[in-house]
Amino acid sequence: MTAAITQRCLLLSQSLLLRSRSMISKQTPLRTLRGQRHTACGFSRAFSSSTGALRSEDKVTVHFINRDGEKITTEGKIGDSLLDVVVDKNLDIDGFGACEGTLACSTCHLIFDENIFKQLDPITDEEMDMLDLAYGLTETSRLGCQICLSKSMNGMTVSVPEGVADVRQAADMGLTPS
């Protein structure tokens, strides 16, 4: 009984989050308090962490393919963002999440499988603005800090793209005389 209510509350808070996110996207970006991580899943995550001990149905397995090809398998809480997972599990992905989930960089850029990509929440202008500057952009790219884990993502694989260079550099980058 409690589980069903919890589930419905989670869904409700997520849909509220979606609606409020589209409103928020028209204003200036949310500010981070010092040391606090701020991702798109903030509301539902805070809620889920207050419901007590987590059971296995609250977790999903996620596989990360790192830049060197190494596969890292880990678990994340439903409602957490992929940035939360990388940070909480201390995954060894160089330079991931530099701006701590505030849509001010593109270092949490991840590549998804087509079938998962299609089910993701629609991308906001703010996310696309930063994603557009990511290196190695693909048709199924998103920013990890904006993607919240759901049940249907259990077992999914995401890839960390090659470089995290941001295209806000002029064409003369790397001009070293030979």
Partner 1 sequence: MSTCILRAPVSKGFSLQFATTFAKTTSCYGKLGSTAAPQPQVCIVGGGPAGFYTAQHLLKSHKGVQVDVFEKLPVPFGLVRFGVAPDHPEVKNVINTFTQTARQDRCGFYGNVTVGSDVTVEELKQAYHAVILSYGAEGSRSLGIPGEDLSGVHSAKDFVGWYNGVPGNKDLKPDLSAEMAVILGQGNVALDVARILLSPLELLKKTDITAGSLEAIAGSRVRRVLIVGRRGPLQVACTIKELREMINLPGTQPALDPRDFQGLREAVQDIPRPRKRLTELLMKAALEKAAGKEAEREWSLRFLRSPTHILPSPDRSRAAGIRLAVTRLEGSGEHARAVLTGEVEEVECGLIVSSIGYQSLPIDPTVPFDPRQAIIPNRMGRVQQAPGLYCSGWVKRGPTGVIATTMNDSFDTARSVLDDMESGQLDTSTPRAGSCAMHALLKQRGVTPVSFAGWEKIDAVETARGREVGKPREKLVDVRDMLKVASL
Task: Please name the residue that has the structure tokens 């940035």.
Answer: 83
The residue among 114 and 139 lying less far from partner 1, judged by its C-beta, is 139
Give Rg (Cα) of the chain: 17
Which structure tokens are listed for 81? Answer: 């963002």
Give the shortest CB-130-to-partner 1 separation in angstroms: 7
Give the shortest CB-99-to-partner 1 separation in angstroms: 5
The residue among 86 and 130 lying less far from partner 1, judged by its C-beta, is 130
E strand intervals along 41-86:
59-65, 71-77
Give the shortest CB-68-to-partner 1 separation in angstroms: 13
The residue among 10 and 103 lying less far from partner 1, judged by its C-beta, is 103
Give the shortest CB-167-to-partner 1 separation in angstroms: 7
Q: What is the DSSP letter of 82?
A: H
The residue among 18 and 104 lying less far from partner 1, judged by its C-beta, is 104
Helical ranges in 49-165 per DSSP H = 82-88, 114-119, 125-131
Q: Are the CB atoms for 119 and 152 separated by under 8 Å?
A: yes
**17: region left, alpha or beta (phi > 0 left; psi from -120 to 50 alpha):** alpha
Binding site for partner 1 (CB under 8 A): 26, 28-29, 31-32, 34-35, 38, 94-95, 98-100, 102-107, 125-126, 128-130, 132-133, 137, 163-178
